[in-house]
Amino acid sequence: MIYGAVGTMFLDFPRLIHALDAIAYETGEDIVIQTGLGKTIPRYCRYFDFKSREEVLAIQREARVIVCHAGIGAVTDALECRRPFLAVPRLKRFKEHLTDHQVEIAEAVQRRGWGRAILDIADLPAACASPPDVPAAYHPARDRLIAAVREFVKETFQE
């Protein structure tokens, strides 16, 4: 099963939904897409607009490949699930987002070896057919950041 997600952005992301729909039609593979607030819905895939975070994580953990927009929430969740991961940035020129900042996140994902950035949607079928490996470990430096913030908080109230 391939899991696709467009996130909670108010703008539509038909490029991704149509590409996944074409893959479902061509290969017959089971694909589930989170379609969010957009109007585009697939013809050959299962889909839903929103589910609870727990339900979404459960679906993602079962997926052979996760293909999602490169929003910070979706990327973080996908990395947590530790499945082969393709990040497809929403682009300003297709009116999928207000800026091109998702390209930065997708490229960072690829640079860190966490997954692959799909900058040209034509690359998606091949990437789904032979997805990147899941890295051996993923340990974000969360506790370090929390400790650094806490240190500053304590210092503020000690003065």
Partner 1 sequence: MKTGTPFCICLVCSHGGHLTEMLALMPAFEGYETFFFCYDADTTRRLGRAYLVPNRPRNPIEFARNLFRAARIMRTERPRLIVSTGAEIAIPVALVGKAFGVRLIHIECGAQVVTASVTGRVLYWLADAFFVQWPELLRVYGPHAQYRGSLIDET
Nearest to partner 1 of 39, 139 (CB atom) = 139
Task: Work out whether 93 is an interface residue with partner 1 (CB under 8 A).
Answer: no
Read off the DSSP letter of residue 122.
G
The full length of the chain comes to 159
The answer for residues whose C-beta is within 8 angstroms of residue 123's C-beta and 6 or more apart is none
- Binders of partner 1 among residues 36 to 65 (CB under 8 A) are none
3-state secondary structure of 121: helix
Rounded CA separation 127/118 (Å): 8
Nearest distance from C-beta of residue 71 to partner 1, angstroms: 7
- Which listed residue (41, 58, 72, 126) binds partner 1 by CB under 8 A? 72
Residue where the block lists tokens 């000690």: 158
**Binding segment for partner 1 among 27-35, 40-48, 117-125, 149-157 (CB under 8 A)?**
149-157
Task: Work out whether 121 is an interface residue with partner 1 (CB under 8 A).
Answer: no
What is the token pair recorded at 49? 């607009």
What is the token pair recorded at 123? 């690359």
Contacts to partner 1 by CB under 8 A: 8, 71-73, 75-76, 79, 101-102, 104-105, 107-108, 112, 138-150, 152-153, 156-157
